[in-house]
A and B are shown apart, each in its own frame.
Chain A
Amino acid sequence: MTVREKLRQKISAGFYWHGLLCASYPVPIILFTAVCILTCCYPLLKLPLPGTGPVEFTTGVRDYMVPPQEPSGDPGERPDWYRGPPVAYIQQVLVKAAVSPWDNRLVPVDAFRSPLGRVFSLLDEIRNHVHSDSSGVRSLEALCLQVTDLLPGLRRMQALLPEHGCLLVSPGNYWQNQRELFDSDPDLLRTVQQYEPKGLHTSATLKDLLFGVHGKQTGVSLNSRNRVVTYTITMALRHYDVRFLGSLRSRLKQLHPSANCSLREEHMVHVHFKEEIGVAELIPLVTTYIILFAYIYFSTRKIDMVKSKWGLALAAVVTVLSSLLMSVGLCTLFGLTPTLNGGEIFPYLVVVIGLENVLVLTKSVVSTPVDLEVKLRIAQGLSNESWSIMKNMATELCIILIGYFTLVPAIQEFCLFAVVGLVSDFFLQMLFFTTVLSIDIRRMELADLNRRLPAEAGMPPAKPGPLRPRETPPPPRPSPHTITLQTPAFRNLRLPKRLRVVYFLARTRLAQRIIMAGTVIWIGILLYTDPAGLRTYLAAQVSEQSPLGGAGLPHLAVAPATPPPELDPMPPPIPQISWGPEDEEGWRRLSYRHWPSFFSYYNITLAKRYISILPVIPVTFHVTPREALETRHPQDTRHAPPLQTDPSPNALPHGAPVQTDLTLYKVAALGLAAGVLLVLLLFCLYRLLCPRNYGQNGVQHGRRRRGDLPCDDYGYSPPVSEISPLLLRGHNMDIECLASDGMLLASCCLAGQIRVWDAQTGDCLTVIPNHGRNQGKSSAVTDLETLGGAEGQDAGGAGYPVRRRAAPSRPTLFGDQPDLTALIDTSFGQQPPSQAPSASSGFDFGGLVERAYLEHEPSVSPVFSAPPPQPVQRRRSLGDQPMAPTDWDSAVWALELRGNLIAAGRSSGKLEVCLWDAVEGSLRCSNEDGVSGITALAFLNNRIVAARLNGSLDFFTVDINKPLGLLQYRGGPGRGSMPPSPCYSSDDVISCQLTRSVQCAHQKPITVLRAAAGRVVTGSQDHTVRVYRLEDSCCLFTLQGHSGGITAIYIDQTMVLASGGQDGAICLWDVLTGSRVSHVYGHRGDVTSLVCTTSCVISSGLDDLICIWDRSTGIKLYSIQQVLGCGASFGVISDSLLVTGGQGCVSFWDLNFGDLLQTVYLGASSEGQGVRQLVVLDNAAIVCDFGSELSLVYVPSVLEKLD
């Protein structure tokens, strides 16, 4: 044994024990993992949240010092970016100007023309201000931030923004800072507005930039309310000179004093800007995230065969995400502060770590044998994959190690993260995901046991283990017809593309989700960029942070200087210039990209740097009306009519509401039009995609009175049609056996009466009464199938669970015992006395049993005492039927019909061959050689094969003593697979010879017998299938592969052989070689019926499911849920049409697509009756066993559509 092998075994064993541990204590382990994750993520709280919003820091003006470049010893509350000089100091001069008092002669333009005009004189003042003291002479030129060229992309702004000089902007820039240009400008508003961008904009506009306040505050508009014009002169300073700025401030205040100004001028705000993320930078990032999500999607899509796919996918994503968080947290804990942009490397980390392990684990655990305990399954699954997991992990670690030695810092950091991430991911996979998986598997098993869902398709064959105890029959389901489709992948292949698109949209609600997501994103963008949204929030935060708190302190109120001589002494007229705390930091109302874009015009980035904003200098201008009139441009009056009346406030508010109303109407009309267009578009799309009017005709005549209609997977209810089937009445009791050869139909009821019907017209041709020894008495024929399995067990007194009708609830020793189950009828109280033709009012139960035993005494083994008939619960369907007190005779257990010969096998072992005749059904021959009950019959050509309860197989030959020339052939009308049946006349002497008897064909009772293509196939309780040749009754193959008794066999002319057993397995065999072609587990419980078509295999089981399998691959295509008790009733009409029985109805399905085509109700009176047997005749008619009646349904309409 090599080291590798040893290592492998060790790892495998370790994983095994780990799996056991995880599955045994799921809750403690999950709690432990959660605690671990939280602990490791704790250091993350210290990291700043990602975002691009600016960060602020406020200091006092008085003792301001330029912060040192290196972080000093006392970090205090200083943010770590507050280091070194800022990019620039921003000094704003906030100007408020108004024409006062307002005069009647003034036009709206006057409200801002002359106030704006004052900016030029103010600019001159500022530019020419010189401060001289002992240390020298300083002017603005020396201190301000000198800028060079604008960026080349901004040619059109060249005239407006300063170049090669001080960075000083004001509204005067619109007119190149020349008073003459301003005075000669006929339309000031147009000049201002022409540079504004159209539509939604997120960055700072030129108007904001030059005015320095938010656009709405400027008051430069024709319908401004208070006629106060506000603007700033913004200068960027390179150096901070407290004396120069102080002198400038006092000078301006002195020249243009502001009354009642209560601005606090003691705080200086430093604003730090994060790295800008532009659109161009975002696109690759978004692409990587899209790829990442596609990867996660495609990975988690592979999770299959678990209880909750979404739950596990979520667990997988949680595993990966929390492992990343853990690794970041751990790295932070050990001092490795991440310098990489986390959002950028995150997708690559996820891709490196991957979801593969998780998927591999799931797949491995799911493919362990289902009948093992959950713990063991988890452990096995883990240990199966342990080697590959470890190998992969080692490889990844190696790759990362190699990456570490590239010695590139960024890559090294990535590798470090990846290593920690890998380890924590492994940790989480082993603890968290495995435990979640075990919980999921356990839930699935519980759900399986409760709901008895079908076993999954494609399951690998279970290792022979202890069979799980079978459950009692499932509880009745509320919805009779639901069709469950297995995997969408198979489904997709079988739908037309157009429908697939629609279904996909409907299933995922894609459009809805996209619209929702779009709305959320849009709202988010609005919130983020809207000046009123985020910025006010920031402002509120900063005002909370500022140590002085509220705005209530008029701390540094400028003492009102002598009022300017122009100012009228009369009470303040409108407009009133007022200074409030909101003016203090007017820049806050600007877009947060205001400063970055301002500087970016000169190719100065603010990313990761900061600027310091100094307190504003307030300046107030009062302009007299006379002055305003003097500066008026001749064209100003043209724009707006002068206001005739006094300027009371009610004159103006007219304009604005009208305008807003108009915009409102416009928006409403636009929205309405868009809505109508959308509806039309969707309608067209719908018509395009779905041109057919499904179900429109059906609604007209389909009376929806039967409660919930059957519908298929997509809620589509096909039209219900009600056709009146031909009811074949005549039997007194429930119909037991049905046989047909296409033209004729033979049925046998529980009373033993055999009736022969014409399959075309529904006429009853012959009645063959029960002509046993006890004439006139009908014999009770009880279908053991209708008795529950538990009952069979009880009655038989045997220990193993069997539910098949063949009554092998008795061991072989009991093989010859009379069928006592027929007597077990405890619903005596319900017997209406009138129904009993022969008995008196009493019912002598003891006598009946005695007689039955006396009759069969010779065959009863003396060793065994007869088990007393136990009072067991009968099924309702039987209990409802009035049972005539019956005398014991042998019951008809099997019925076959070929030509005009009926072969009936009885429980007493007698084989009867009757000749049917138009007038009389007479017994032509019988054979009583056998002693054991005939459980199954096959009638092919002129041979009859009978299988008996004791496991023997008898071959009979029917001989007709008659010249062959008279033998006519009645060809089977449609079915080519059936050999022509000879027609016998009543004159012939028919003899039935036992040609060969295979005594020990099977060890246990034969349960099914089928014959076709010259082969006879038997299935037995002894888990084997045998194939015999019909001619010489030679056994060709014994097919082994089932782990339970055989319950269903299908063979047809094309030598397709399928068998189903009590283990719920379905095997396909090659009849020529005897090899097993495929093997699937289809049902929980017995397989009750099997049919193959050219492309698929249809099976039904005791779990009342009809499953459709792909014949070549053995993959389950879909399954149809049947009504309780109708599980086995289905038939195949053509290669693509399936008919199933339901509660009082039959349904037609499209085999290829699993679509419900039509549901036909069999008359109004049959509400509660389920269709238990269903035979498809050649002429596309269906015969349903319908209580004591037979229904003959013609379905030409469906067939026409299919052909």
Chain B
Amino acid sequence: MPQDDDEDPRNGAVEANDHAHQSPLKKPRLTRPISEPDILQEFSHHQQGFARINNGSFGSCPRSVLSAQNTWHLRFLQQPDEFFFNSLRKGILESRAAVKALINADDVDDVSLVDNATTAAAIVLQQVGRQFADGSFRKNDAVIMFHCAFPAVKKSIGAYIGPAGGSVVEVRLPFPVRSNEEIIAEFKKGLERGKINGGRVRFAMIDHITSMPSVVLPVRELIRVCREEGVDQVFVDGAHSIGSVPVDVKEIDADFYVSNLYKWFFAPPAVAFLHCKNSKGLVDLHHPVVSQEYGKGLALESSWVGNRDYTPQLVVPSILEFVNRFEGGIKGIMKRNHDGVVKMGTMLAESWGTMLGSPPEMCASMIMVGLPSRLCVTSDDDAMSLRTHLRVYHRIEVPTYYQALRNEDRDPKDKDGFITGYVRISRQIYNTDEDYHRLKNAINQILEDGKICSMLPVE
């Protein structure tokens, strides 16, 4: 059926190149940057007529990359043994080398590819747990993280640190936030709390860009503070970062840095990189799924965790090709996304009479925008109802956030009351201003109709 052929991005790329074989860093001759119609075509498999302003959760993948992925998949299906013995390892190494160059890592051995940041967190936290279990870290030592760390990561800390005897210090993220200094001050207080029982803070889990509420944290400064305080290991959860902020692992200087490539770097679901500073010195870092590669270093262990579909890990060179079709490459994309999301966030805040959750310089390709207090977002359920209502009735996908009042002078207000709800809008290359006007109008319509969250139909 022609309709399906048009929709299925596996039916050939916009440009029919054999992406699987080109050298990772070779920039194609850029005769002209990719055009608007080309961009639309690359994302024509997205649901049409839908304002997709939640790139943060599941990311997005253009047709050319999906097509490259399919080429790899087909090669495996044609002759899997030959693929396994002759192509797979090479292909993964090429992808890792491409990532190494992208993030300014010293050694490709330090770069592992895993499914996602959730997996990387399990890997790193298991290792921390073992250090508590074997006594390298003592029972009254602590692990520090932000209270808004991603839920999976919080559970992972609960699973691997708690039972092993470590205690956890949570740092409350000031939100809405005005400056990096507010965050650093809270973090320093948290570090002090970690020393209360006479122990040390052994491990710090720091988001590069928090998920909800979304703010870009001053990771370099926070890590400097950690080093000054003698924190043994710092793990940066940069799930959102690659493709939305510059990532230079040498400069950031964390012990572990993870970022998902499928969120902002156009990879298909799902692949992430985990960079481990000086991995050769880490004898006890392992992928929990043990294969014949056990003991050869995390990068090799991760490259074979039993028979699976490794195609998402193989397309990094193809992604670079895609990204380099844009003016300024990934840097240009990041800048335009940032400028666009700030402009649209400001537009929404003005229309609704609210405000932004952070200053523009503390956001990348996502920004938090306050929702009018009249909507009465009084719980997580209210926030979810609003999100569902927007999806079903207004064809808008945008994540919502509820934050209870903290009874401080700083509780945000609009002319009608206190602001307790926010949307996290994102901007990626497939978005147009129309998407955000649609959101603006939808909220204004709900208000005009006199509805509040708990009254909104969701089916």
- Pairing of A with B: no
